[in-house]
A and B are shown apart, each in its own frame.
Chain A
Amino acid sequence: MAPGSKYQEGQGWHFAYSKVVQFFQEVGEMALFSGRFFRTFWQPPFEWREFINQSYNLGNKSIFLVSLTGFIMGLVLDLQSRPTMMEFGAVSWMPSMVGITIVREMGPMVTALICAGKIGSSIGAELGSMRVTEQIDAMEVSGTNPFKFLVVTRVMAATFMLPLLVILGDACSLGGSFLVENLKGNVSFHLYFNQVFEGLEMGDIVPSTIKTFFFGAAIGLVGCYKGYTSKKGTAGVGKASNSAVVVASVLVFVLDFIAVLIADLFYEL
C-alpha cells in the first residue's frame, strides 16, 4: 500500500469486512422490525383514526408532486419517442406504446421513487425527532403501544396510498402524452384513450398494481424503521431521514426486479 494512504496494510480488508457485517446486521434488524410489524398488526385494537389521519397526510401531501412529475413524464416520453416512431411509420401506435410503458413500468417506478423521497424521508424525520425528544417514550409510559400507534398506522397508510398515487400519476402521464399527441398529431381525446386501453391487457395492469402495494409497504417500513430506531440526537434524525430515502429507493428497484421476474414466469406458463 502506498505511503500516506488512508489505510495501512490489512486495514482496508478489515474496513470492508466491518462494512459487510454492518450491512447484514442492518438487514437482520430490519427483518426483525418487519416481523414485529406483522405480529403487532393483528393485535387489537386497530388505530383506525390514526390510520385515516396518516392516509390523508401521506396521500394528500404527495398529490401535487406525483401529478406534476407524472404529467411531465408523459410529455417527455411522448416527445422523445415520437420522432423515432415517425421514422418507422408507427406514429399511430404512440398511445398504446406510451400506455403500456407507463402502466407497466414507468408510472409505478417513478411514483414509488418520488414517494420514497417524500414519504420515506418525512416518516423517518418525524419518528426520528419523536425518538430523540422522548415523545415515543412519553407515549409508552402513558400506556399506549407506540409501535402500534406510530408504525403500524404509517406502514398501512403508505401501503394503501401508494397504489392510489400510482393510478393518479399514470393518469397524469397519459394526460401529458395526450397533450403532445393532440397538439402535434391532432389526435382526439376519445381516439387517444381508446387506443391506450386497447393496447392494455389485464396482464399489464394486475401485476403492476400488485407490486405498488409492496412498494408502499417497503417505503413505510423503511421510513418507520429508520426513524423509530434513530439514535445520536439531532444528527441521528438527519441520518435517519436520509438513509430512509436511500434504502427505500434501492428496495423499490429490488422489489421491481423480483416482481418482473415473477410476472415473467407467469407469462411463460
Chain B
Amino acid sequence: MNALANIPDTTTVLQNGPGSALLEVIEVYKAFGSLKVLDGFSMKLFSGENVAIVGKSGSGKSVLLKCIIGLLPYDSGIIRVLGQDVSQLDQRQLDRLRTEIGFLFQGSALYDSMTVRENLQFPLRRHMDKMQNQVEEELIRETLASVGLEHTIDLWPEELSGGMQRRIALARTLILRPQIILYDEPTTGLDPITSREIIELILDIQKQYGTASLIITHDMQCVRLASDRMVILHEGKNYATGSYGDLKKRNDPIIQAFLETS
C-alpha cells in the first residue's frame, strides 16, 4: 500500500497550468543597512524542474531562500509561491503555504532532542493530526526507504554521519510531499562520494515525486548533474540564466569564472 496516497490533499491555491511558474521572484530588493544584497533580482521556477543558483559567498543566495520561505522580509518586489504573494500572507496562510515548500538546511537542522522517527513525525503530527498511527508509521518508513535509511528509524541525530543527517533532513522535508524543495548548499561539507549520493538523491526525488527544486550551491558538479537550468546571482541581480551547457558556451568572463571551477 502506498502510504503517501493517504495524505490529505493540502495543495494550496493554484492549479498550475502547463508551463506556469510555481515560484516567481520579481524585481526583489533586500538590503542590510547600506549593504545591498538583492538588487532587483528576478527568476522563475517551473513545475518539475531543478534550478541551481550560483554566486559568490555572501552574494545573497541564502538570503534569497529565506525571503522565499518567509523567514526574512524583503524590502520591495514580489515573491509569488504557488500563486500567492508571500509578503501579503498572514501567519496562518504562510504556515499553510510552508507545508507545500520543503527546505533542506545546510547543516541539516535535525531536532537533536528527537529520534529519527520523531523528527519525521513532527511535521506530520502538526499538520495531519487525524492520521492513524499505522498509516503514519508506514509513511515514515516509506519516506526513510526513499532516502535509503529505513534502518536508522530509532537512532538519534548524533549517531548519524553528516551525509546520513542530510538524507534524514531530506526525508523530513519530503514527508509532507511538498511541491517545491529549496536546497541550501546540499553538498557542502560532504566528501565527493557522499556528495554524489546526495546529487543522485535530488534527481531521484525529482523523478519520483515530481517536485521542483531550487538549489543554492557552490558545487559545480552538483549544478552540472542535478540542475536543468542555472541562475548566476551576481551583484544582487540575475546575471545569467540557462542550462549548464549553454552558459559554458558563452564568452562572458564572469560566467566563465564560475564555470571554470568545475
Contact = CB atoms under 8 A, between A and B. Distances in A.
Nearest to B69: A141
Contacts of B127: 143
Interface residues of A, number: 15
Interface stretch (A3-11, A96-104, A130-138, A171-179): A130-138
Contact of B105 (A126, A134, A145): A134
A139 B113 CA distance: 13
Interface string B78-106: 00000000000001000110110101011
Interface string B112-138: 110000000011001100000000000
Contacts of A142: 98-99, 122-123, 126, 172, 176
Interface in A57-82: none
A141 B103 CA distance: 7
Contacts of A130: 111
B109 A135 contact: yes
Contacts of B105: 134, 137-138
B112 A143 contact: no
B109 A134 contact: yes
A126 B113 CA distance: 9
A47 B95 CA distance: 16
Given A133-B107, A135-B112, A140 B71 contact: yes
Contacts, number: 50
Contacts of B103: 138, 141
A147 to B, nearest CB: 11
A259 to B, nearest CB: 34
B120 to A, nearest CB: 11
A158 B72 CA distance: 31
Contacts of B112: 129, 133, 135
A182 interface: no
A130 B108 CA distance: 12
Contact of A144 (B106, B110, B113, B126): B126
Contacts of B111: 130, 135, 138-139
Contacts of A129: 112
Contacts of B71: 137, 140-141
Contact of A134 (B98, B101, B107, B172): B107
Contacts of A140: 71, 98
A143 B126 contact: yes
B65 to A, nearest CB: 10
Contacts of B69: 141
Contact of B101 (A133, A139, A141): A141
Contacts of B106: 134
Contact of B96 (A135, A137, A143, A145): A143
A56 to B, nearest CB: 13
A139 to B, nearest CB: 8
A230 to B, nearest CB: 16
Given A129-B112, A141-B103, 4 more contacts: A134-B107, A137-B105, A144-B123, A145-B95
Closest 9 CB pairs of A and B: A138-B109, A143-B95, A134-B109, A143-B98, A141-B103, A142-B123, A134-B105, A143-B99, A135-B109
12 contacts: A126-B113, A129-B112, A134-B106, A135-B109, A142-B122, A143-B95, A143-B99, A143-B123, A143-B126, A144-B122, A144-B126, A145-B95
